[in-house]
Amino acid sequence: MSALLEVRGLRAWYGASQVLHGVDLRVGEGEIVALAGRNGSGRSTFAKALMSMVRAQGERRFAGVNLAELRTFEIARLGLGYVAEQRDVFPTLSVEENLRLGLGSRSRRGGLSLEDVRALFPVLAERRTVRAGALSGGEQQMLALARALMGGPQMLIVDEPTEGLSAQMAARVGDCLASLRERGVAVLLIEQRLTLAPGLADRVAVMGHGRIVFDGSLDSLAQNEDIVREWLGIG
């Protein structure tokens, strides 16, 4: 499998505080990789560093292009989508208006149309006239995913998509992410508790103290009790 995202020696800072200390990671075309770790391990900072949202140094290439030379909107146009943990919907706009913003910024072929969104996310079709701020957390998560997919990304970074959701709504979000595999979209799935990863991820990487401390299959991780105990706080 050829690499779509390649990261080597990535370091990142918030002001004078260094958070990433040399991260190496690759994601192949169409691959779903889970990035796990305790709170404060650097997972969200890693996502923001890829999107040029924090100060960073090191090699980060997407589809062969050096991301360090690009601004956030240019990276999105290149085909790397990002759904932040905060979901970032426009609360005073309707579901349909939020989606049309994604449609209006589409700069790549292959993005979802409004008709595609209605078929893939039926709940959004039902709630299309409702203000985004009145949606449940799960519905907002689906809206954020749908809007990102309208840009036609080759890869999507999704940060804690099930945080604060009921088990039923988390399962629905998981189904939406699973459908991306059929479309050939690669996913970097950031989760602390590995809620969705067992049914989705081809591979899992574990981050601790701003570095990757494990990279392998979910089965290999389950058998590595020291990694699980020390870096995930389980067991």
Question: What would the pLDDT profile of 73-100 be if each residue is shown by its tens digit?
Answer: 999 989 999 998 887 899 999 999 999 8
User: For 213-220, what is the mean pLDDT?
Assistant: 96
Q: Give residue 65's pLDDT band: very low, low, confident or very high (50, 70, 90).
A: very high
**DSSP result, 62-115:** ETTEEGGGS-HHHHHHHTEEEE-TT----TTSBHHHHHHHHHHT--STTPPPHH
Residues spanned by the domain of 118: 3-232
Residue 35 confidence (pLDDT) above 90: yes
Give residue 235's pLDDT.
46
Judge contact between 14 and 54, C-beta under 8 A.
yes
Q: Can you give the CATH number for the domain in which 147 is found?
A: 3.40.50.300
Give me the number of domains the chain comprises. Answer: 1
Length, in residues, of the chain: 235
**117 DSSP assignment:** H
Query: Using one digit for the tens of pLDDT, what is the confidence trace for 92-142?
Result: 999 999 998 877 555 555 677 888 888 888 889 999 999 999 998 888 988
Query: Considering the chain, what is the average pLDDT of its residues?
Result: 90
Partners of 56 in the β-ladder: 12
* Residue 162 reports pLDDT greater than 50: yes
Beta carbons of 5 and 79 less than 8 angstroms apart: no
Q: Tell me the average pLDDT across 170-194.
A: 88
